[in-house]
A = this chain, B = another copy of it.
């Protein structure tokens, strides 16, 4: 009985099928952003389903930004916002712990991985902006790590790396890092105060090399990496 029930639940619904059918239709016919879609009634007839099913499937594709409504032409294909789905579902209270830990680790991977591109794209203006953020950090009264200044500093690093998708991903994922950090602190763990400060990172970005940066950011994020090492059974 249970196996039967699970099968029923996981079976794609008619709307799921129609949604995929519409995507396949667009791909097969080489639709490009700006091209108008057939009318709802034509889609319904050609796919042999009701207009309400078509409307539901189109609504999903509109949500993903693959289709947009225009006044003149009805629906047209659009260059989708590829991270909108991620943006919708990143709700720390609802995601399971395992997924959140994967995402946290993804952050470490990204921050170590941007080293090369960071050094390619940095400008003197970027360094000046980083130093401004440092000044604000120092003038802050609290000793504990301030989340907004963490976001601003690390966000600026992604910005220097110059990849819009990456930068957006960071801002979507930040609530997860924030949530996990607070959980650690609630458990009595010390807030992350690293041997390598933001200020040292900026010095390396200004005058150092990518490998030096990778080494420094690793130490900066060591508290988090150590959690992974603990699990793996080795030490840094």
Contacts and interface: CB of A to CB of B under 8 A. Distances in A.
A79 B94 contact: yes
B120 A228 contact: yes
Interface stretch (A38-46, A55-63, A147-155): A55-63
**Which interface residue of A82, A90, A112, A165 has the most chain B CB atoms within 10 A?**
A82
Contacts of A108: 113, 116-117
Interface stretch (A26-34, A128-136, A179-187, A191-199): A26-34
A225 to B, nearest CB: 7
A196 to B, nearest CB: 15
A16 interface: yes
Contacts of A86: 82-83, 85-86
B113 A111 contact: yes
Interface of A: 5, 8-9, 13, 15-16, 19, 23, 26-27, 30-33, 52, 55-56, 59-60, 62-66, 68-71, 77, 79-86, 88-91, 93-96, 98-99, 102-103, 105-106, 108-117, 120-121, 161, 163-166, 211, 214-215, 218, 225, 228-229, 232, 234
Contacts of A113: 108-114
15 contacts: A23-B88, A26-B94, A32-B94, A33-B96, A64-B85, A66-B89, A79-B99, A105-B117, A105-B166, A106-B165, A108-B116, A109-B161, A112-B116, A113-B114, A120-B229
**Which interface residue of A66, A94, A105 has the most chain B CB atoms within 10 A?**
A94
A71 B32 contact: no
Q: Tell me the interface secondary structure of chain A in the complex.
A: helix
Contacts of A112: 112-113, 115-116
B64 A88 contact: yes
A206 B91 CA distance: 39
Contact of A56 (B59, B89, B90, B96): B59
Contacts of A103: 82, 165
A69 B99 CA distance: 22
A228 B162 CA distance: 11
Contacts of A102: 163-166
A123 to B, nearest CB: 10
